[in-house]
Amino acid sequence: MTQGEILKAILALGGCGESLEETADLLLQRFGSLGAVMDAPPAMLAAFGVNESAAVLLRLLPEVARYEAKEGIRPRTAVHDAEDMARLFCQVCHGCRKEELWLMCLDENLRLLSLEQVAGGTVSAIPVVNRDIIGRVLACGAHYVAMAHTHPGGLAEASDMDCVVTRELSRCLDALSVPLLEHFVIAGDTYQPILLFHTPQDFYGQVDPESFYSTELRQKARLHMAPAADGEDAGVPDAGADAVNRRL
Amino acid sequence: MDNSTNCRLGHRARVRGQFLREGIAQWDAYRVLELLLFYCIPRRDVKPLAHQLIQTFGSLGGVLQASPEALHDVSGLGDYAAGRLCAILPLARAALEATPVQRYDTSTRVGALLRSLYRERRANGQQEDTLLLLFDSSLSLLGIKSLTRGGITAQGFQPRLLTELAYERSAAAVLVSRYSTSPILVPTAEELAVLREIHILFNTVGLDFLDYVLINGDNYAFVAHKMVDTLTLHQKKERLIYDDAGGDPEGNPGARRMR
């Protein structure tokens, strides 16, 4: 289906009966793409003759597809390595248009206890409250955790602040004896494991890198770390004192 | 319309409002299904039906993937309603897969990109002299919009317009360019004042104002980055947008190019 056909079908289902074709064409022309139309606030769409019900449906349908994809992940799913984790995160983050932070809690045998979105942000930033994350980890009795946040822009590359926040959280979780196994940056179907790519090896001592990461990932990480190999903690700025609320 | 119908319509509006405020990520499956059933059954309390369907098919996905016959057998849904319900999941998946935003090739440096844009527009008889370039957080170009003639100091121009256009495309950063009739690419005092106003506004709403570019023929000058006191770009973005060397063939110190 083309973007126009999808848009017309959604508008029809939403009860936007009058001059459907004209409205759809006008919307695509004005906003440039179906994605942008779906992201537009209902009040803005109303100016083009889209009723509230159809405007809500435009925003609802992609979320329904994501909800259904998340439902497909069964509790107690075994997570063997970093690739398994990344695959699950990519599945639930697929199609997101804003930054989102996801938390995966695992039992002592690395089986899935919960996988939930813990924060939502804007197109370029997301607020992270360590206390909330710790609260959820404790509530589900996790033995291990993994995290992921999305870069809707399509670039799976951790920022300096991503690394700072990861390190802080990892320290907090270590103190609670709930190791953070990995924190992924997800962009579409691509991902970057922050602990592997941006921290010295002794920092991610909770897992055996040989079995947890594929050879390909470890090679990529070595290449990525190479320019900054001489300095300890290279590329990862120190955490400031005001480290409770940060934006990834 | 009787009171119960009014009450149901009010309930539907409330549920839709709740969805817009909080999304469905934390909702139970039956609540999501109830919201979807609003689009299949115009006037009826659909909550009991939502419960019944989830109980029978096990999950939202189970209901949405059920055949019209199965839906009819279980809940007595008519052909019209069952047909609409069955259409939802394929449509939802298609909507999710649809390209989120149209992206342009930004491998071209921004100066060259602007030059070719203006050349093309003038060849097509378009006289707009001010363009707005919208970028996402990784500085991929999302779209290009024409603004009023006269740049940011034109009568009727308001920073609010930039903000609205950025919000429409879910942009994280914007860049404005103006075609100057003068070969001397220097901003006016009025332009600088508006730039400061835009910068303050964008800082407040969480948008990045990347730069204001003046262009004449093949020459161009980046104005905003020179105002280091008020308009400092994020270091990483500066690395992404501009050449390390800086400077244009005419020796204009303000002109640098996009990677």
pLDDT at residue number A9? 92
| CA distance linking residue B168 with residue A37, whole number of Å | 8
Are B87 and A9 a contacting pair at CB < 8 A? Answer: yes
DSSP three-state, residue B194: helix
Query: Of B169, B205, B207, which to mutate for an interface test with A (greatest number of A Cβ within 10 Å)?
Result: B169
- Cα end-to-end span (Å), chain B: 62
At which residue do the structure tokens 């349908």 appear? Answer: A61
Q: Which of A56, A116, A159 sits opposite B19 (nearest CB)?
A: A56
pLDDT at residue number B181? 77
pLDDT at residue number A201? 60
* Pick from A147, A102, A144: nearest CA to A121: A102
CB pairs under 8 A between A and B: 149
pLDDT at residue number A149? 92
User: Looking at CA atoms only, how far is residue A71 from chain B in angstroms?
Assistant: 7
Q: What is the DSSP letter of A98?
A: S
Q: How many CB atoms lie within 10 A of CB B2?
A: 6
Query: Of B133, B168, B259, which to mutate for an interface test with A (greatest number of A Cβ within 10 Å)?
Result: B168
pLDDT at residue number B245? 37
Token output for A10: 């959604």
Mean pLDDT of A122-130: 71
- Indicate the burial class of A157 (C-beta count within 10 angstroms; 0-12, 13-18, 19 or more): middle
Q: Which of B59, B99, B173 sits opposite A35 (nearest CB)?
A: B99
| CA distance linking residue A145 with residue A173, whole number of Å | 9
Yes or no: say if B247 and B100 are a contact pair by the CB < 8 Å rule.
no
pLDDT(B44) > 60: yes
Q: Kind of pairing, strands A245-247 and A190-193?
A: unpaired
At which residue do the structure tokens 């196994």 appear? Answer: A181
* Pick from B189, B23, B68: nearest CA to A120: B23
pLDDT at residue number B155? 60
Q: Which of A3, A13, A32 sits opposite B98 (nearest CB)?
A: A3
Highest mean pLDDT among A220-224, B89-93, B196-200: B89-93
Are A34 and B95 a contacting pair at CB < 8 A? Answer: yes
Q: How many CB atoms lie within 10 A of CB B212?
A: 26
**Neighbouring-strand partners of residue B219:** B216
pLDDT at residue number A223? 77
- Indicate the burial class of B169 (C-beta count within 10 angstroms; 0-12, 13-18, 19 or more): buried
Yes or no: say if A163 and A225 are a contact pair by the CB < 8 Å rule.
no
pLDDT at residue number B127? 63
Mean pLDDT of B81-106: 78
Query: Could you read off the pLDDT of B204-215 as tens digits, one per residue?
Result: 887 888 888 888
For residue A12, the chain B residue with the least C-alpha distance is B39
* Pick from B132, B101, B154, B135: nearest CA to B233: B135
User: Looking at CA atoms only, how far is residue A124 from chain B in angstroms?
Assistant: 5
At which residue do the structure tokens 């034109």 appear? Answer: B154
| CA distance linking residue B141 with residue B158, whole number of Å | 23
- DSSP run (H or E) holding B222: strand B219-222
- Cα angle value B44/B50/B56 (rounded, 5°): 135
pTM of the model: 0.65
Distant-in-sequence, close-in-space partners of B103: CB < 8 Å, separation ≥ 6: A154, B136, B140, B141, B142
Query: Of B9, B11, B19, B102, which to mutate for an interface test with A (greatest number of A Cβ within 10 Å)?
Result: B102
- Indicate the burial class of B72 (C-beta count within 10 angstroms; 0-12, 13-18, 19 or more): middle
Buried b (16+ CB within 10 A) or exposed e, A70-89: bbeeeeeeebebbbbbbebb
CB contacts of B35 in chain A (<8 Å) are 60
Amino acid at A202: D
Q: Which of A39, A72, A94 sits opposite B170 (nearest CB)?
A: A39
pLDDT at residue number B256? 34
Mean pLDDT of B17-37: 91
CB contacts of A3 in chain B (<8 Å) are 98-99
Q: How many CB atoms lie within 10 A of CB A210?
A: 8
Least confident of A83-92, B53-62, B159-168: B159-168
A200 or B253: whose pLDDT is higher? A200
| CA distance linking residue A106 with residue A114, whole number of Å | 7
Q: How confident is the model at residue B109 (pLDDT cuts 50, 70, 90)?
A: low
Are B137 and A95 a contacting pair at CB < 8 A? Answer: no
| CA distance linking residue B118 with residue B87, whole number of Å | 45
Mean pLDDT of B96-104: 61
User: Looking at CA atoms only, how far is residue B184 from chain A in angstroms?
Assistant: 35
Residue length of chain B: 259
Are A61 and B170 a contacting pair at CB < 8 A? Answer: no
Is the four-CA dihedral B12, B14, B20, B23 of positive or negative sign? negative
CB contacts of A150 in chain B (<8 Å) are none
pLDDT at residue number B15? 92
Are A36 and B91 a contacting pair at CB < 8 A? Answer: no
CA distances from B236 to B137, B175, B244 (A): 11, 16, 12
Are B143 and A32 a contacting pair at CB < 8 A? Answer: yes
Q: Which of A3, A36, A187 sits opposite B170 (nearest CB)?
A: A36
Instruction: Give the distance from CA B189 to its chain's centroid.
Output: 31
Mean pLDDT of chain B: 75
DSSP three-state, residue A150: strand
pLDDT at residue number B62? 92
CB contacts of B172 in chain A (<8 Å) are 122-124, 153
Least confident of A81-90, A115-124, B8-17: A115-124
Q: How confident is the model at residue A195 (pLDDT cuts 50, 70, 90)?
A: confident
Are B236 and A159 a contacting pair at CB < 8 A? Answer: yes
Mean pLDDT of chain A: 81
Radius of gyration over every alpha carbon of chain B, rounded to an integer in angstroms: 26
Q: What is the DSSP letter of A238?
A: P
* Pick from A122, A110, A138: nearest CA to A207: A110
CB contacts of A64 in chain B (<8 Å) are 24, 32, 36, 60, 64, 88-89, 92
Q: Which of A10, A66, A97 sits opposite B100 (nearest CB)?
A: A97
Are A66 and B96 a contacting pair at CB < 8 A? Answer: yes
Query: Could you read off the pLDDT of B131-157 as tens digits, one per residue?
Result: 888 887 767 778 888 886 666 666 656
Are B170 and A66 a contacting pair at CB < 8 A? Answer: no
- DSSP run (H or E) holding A205: none
Token output for A55: 């405007």
pLDDT(A99) > 70: yes
pLDDT at residue number A106? 93
User: Looking at CA atoms only, how far is residue B130 from chain A in angstroms?
Assistant: 18
CB contacts of A152 in chain B (<8 Å) are 100, 136-137, 170
User: Looking at CA atoms only, how far is residue A75 from chain B in angstroms?
Assistant: 14
Q: Where are the beta strands (DSSP E) in B172-216?
A: 173-179, 208-216
pLDDT at residue number B9? 63
pLDDT at residue number A102? 93
Yes or no: say if A169 and A147 are a contact pair by the CB < 8 Å rule.
yes
User: Looking at CA atoms only, how far is residue B243 from chain A in angstroms?
Assistant: 20
Query: Could you read off the pLDDT of A15-30 as tens digits, one per residue?
Result: 887 788 888 988 888 8
Amino acid at A162: D
Yes or no: say if A103 and A137 are a contact pair by the CB < 8 Å rule.
yes
pLDDT at residue number B154? 65
**Neighbouring-strand partners of residue A61:** none
CB contacts of A17 in chain B (<8 Å) are none
Residue length of chain A: 248
B248 or A87: whose pLDDT is higher? A87
pLDDT at residue number B159? 79
